[in-house]
Chain A
Amino acid sequence: MSSAISVRRLTKDFQIGIRGLKLRAVDNLSLEIPRGQVYGLLGPNGCGKSTTLKVVLGLVTATAGEISILGHPSATAEARSRTGFLPEAPYFHKFLSGRELVTYCARLSGVLPSDLTTAVEDALGLAAMTDAADRPIGTYSKGMLQRIGFAQAIVHDPELVILDEPTAGVDPVGSAAIGRMIHAMRDKGKTVVLCSHLLGQVEQVCDRVAIMDRGKLVLEGRVEDVLARRDRHVMTIEAMTPAAREAAEAALAAHGAQVTSVTHPRRSLEDLFRELVTGSRDA
């Protein structure tokens, strides 16, 4: 089976000014994104990840290289009909209601009139937007805008969903909701490509990651593999006394091991925040 996205030797130059000075945004990038996984594309601002996604979606033409989506050349109607996209900081027509927007996008994506109602309701349900679906988009909060954007991206049941900074500007509760949606998509066998610089979130939801810097790929692999340090171990011990500690260190030393640091475990601030405001929703 072909990859969800296959990028081979992609280079993208932008011309600047009348004299046509070149700015290389992506430099000889090759990537294979397997199907059915959540794939994180990481990197600092300006590293070329959004440009890469735009080239993949056919919104920007490549200077060199080949790209295919689900086995089809990118930028073809066939490839795009099987792809959903949520751009960074999406803006939708404020006068439309959420349901109207999703219906509009469904029709543009080729959903048949007979399947329209089911498709729209499913997408709204998955994005947890059913209750607010009839309100004008102008009244939505940032988190709701992202969720309705997610709904419009998946309304035609695409095999590949591309999300560009889906949690930018969204509070942790909203971020967690989007994370759940991503997992739900993966559970349905979809491929999700996530472009973000929020590393904590990527670590939580992604199966594989690629890290880009200055237009080049610097690291690619499974999250566990790239993060794991095989020469270090962490043990969490409860009710440890000074005597117990000394005994444990002596026992480890007898086997040639050495304790290099002992600290108290900490919760992340995000975990604490989510624990405190659990159940609250931005509506």
Chain B
Amino acid sequence: MTPSLQRTLWISRVTFLEAVRQRFFAFLMVLGAAMVLSSVSFRVFDFGHGELKFIADFGFGGMFLFGSVLSVVMTAQLFFSEIDNKTALTLLAKPLSRSEFLIGKFFGAWAVLGVFVVVLSGLLGGVMWAREQELVAMAEQAGKVPVTFSASGMFQFALLQWLRLGVVITIVLTVSALARTFLFTVVVGSLAVVAGQLQWIAQDAVLKPTGSALYGAFLWLSTRLLPNLQQFNIGDALVLGATGVPGEAVVEVALSGLAYMVAYLFIGTLVFRRREI
């Protein structure tokens, strides 16, 4: 292992330890888990979607909502705590490059979100599996075709969610490298998440012919600068197989997520190199 990689991993390790000890992480994790578990109780409010879909949507919603909040707020907090407490001064005075510092922060935060996604998707998978067993038995008695859920689809969905949150972390780190305050970073990071979730509108428009060259150029630029976060929300199709997703499409989305991460992280390190601490 190269010394540079070792230093990066040490930063990641300490970042991870710091993050998992935060009450904020535990709080959101508990909230997300409670949301997943409570979906079984709330299914009485369902209007015939199929119970598994209702439970899945509750879980996906929890993962999306709390995952997004966690990746924006926690990443910004982890970055600014180092700057405000002057820990960054101590670390960056050592033979540690700013790229190693920022990439280490990224992997530490991403690992924390990995724990979050694994725990919530594991819980959701467990709840759905248990309910599926009951529904299959009931459907067999009634002579109906039961709705089933796909465990491999759940795994793929969890992986895509993790990648989506990774993209969000890189965006927040890039903003942090530029920003002077925690609040500014959280606000801009949150807006970037919303814009990323709605980027598909421009993406869809780009795929259709447009009369105005200026409008076309604007749309093209929007789709190139903003990440498409909506493409990761294919939980329904993956887990419940309502419409099905080709394997190649999942791989393409995953690669797209990785491409965004590399791009934003590169920009983040460029910006951070010029920052005065």
A interface residues with partner B (beta carbon < 8 Å): 54, 57-61, 77-78, 80-81, 83, 85-93, 95-96, 104-105, 107-110, 149, 152, 156, 162
Contact = CB atoms under 8 A, between A and B. Distances in A.
Given A96-B14, A107-B7, A110-B3, A85 B90 contact: yes
A80 B87 contact: no
B18 A93 contact: yes
Nearest to B15: A93
A108 B274 CA distance: 21
A107 B3 CA distance: 9
B66 interface: no
B79 to A, nearest CB: 14
A59 B89 contact: yes
A156 B7 CA distance: 14
Contacts of B92: 57-59
Given A104-B10, A107-B7, A59 B87 contact: no
Nearest to B101: A108
Contact of B96 (A78, A108, A152, A162): A108
A92 B17 CA distance: 13
Given A60-B276, A77-B97, A93-B14, A85 B6 contact: no
A5 B242 CA distance: 69
A81 B87 contact: no
B87 A108 contact: no
Contacts of B130: none
Contact of B85 (A54, A77, A81, A91): A91
A108 B98 CA distance: 12
B86 A59 contact: no
Contacts of B3: 110
A272 to B, nearest CB: 34
Given A60-B277, A61-B276, A96-B14, 20 more contacts: A54-B89, A57-B92, A57-B93, A59-B93, A60-B276, A80-B93, A80-B95, A81-B94, A85-B89, A87-B89, A88-B86, A90-B86, A93-B87, A105-B90, A108-B10, A108-B95, A108-B96, A109-B94, A110-B95, A149-B90
Contacts, number: 75
Nearest to A158: B94
Nearest to B7: A108
Contacts of A77: 95, 97
B95 A109 contact: yes
B94 A80 contact: yes
A149 B93 CA distance: 13
B91 interface: yes
Contact of B86 (A61, A87, A107): A87
Interface of B: 3, 6-7, 10-11, 14, 17-18, 21, 85-87, 89-97, 274, 276-277
B257 to A, nearest CB: 30
Contact of A81 (B6, B95, B277): B95
Interface of B is mostly: helix
A107 B93 contact: no
A265 B11 CA distance: 55
Contacts of B276: 59-61
A89 B95 CA distance: 21
B86 to A, nearest CB: 5
5 contacts: A77-B97, A87-B93, A92-B90, A95-B18, A162-B93
A239 B210 CA distance: 106
A162 B97 CA distance: 19
Nearest to B100: A108
Nearest to B21: A95
Nearest to A86: B90
Contact of A85 (B10, B93, B97): B93
Contacts of B90: 85-87, 90, 92, 105, 149, 152
Contacts of A60: 276-277
Nearest to A164: B89
Q: Pick from B85, B93, B277 the residue with the most CB of A within 10 Å.
A: B93
A83 B89 CA distance: 13
A81 B3 CA distance: 12
Contacts of A109: 94-95
Q: Pick from B86, B92, B95 the residue with the most CB of A within 10 Å.
A: B95
Contacts of A81: 94-95
Contacts of B11: 108
Contacts of B93: 57-59, 80, 83, 85, 87, 162
A90 B91 CA distance: 11
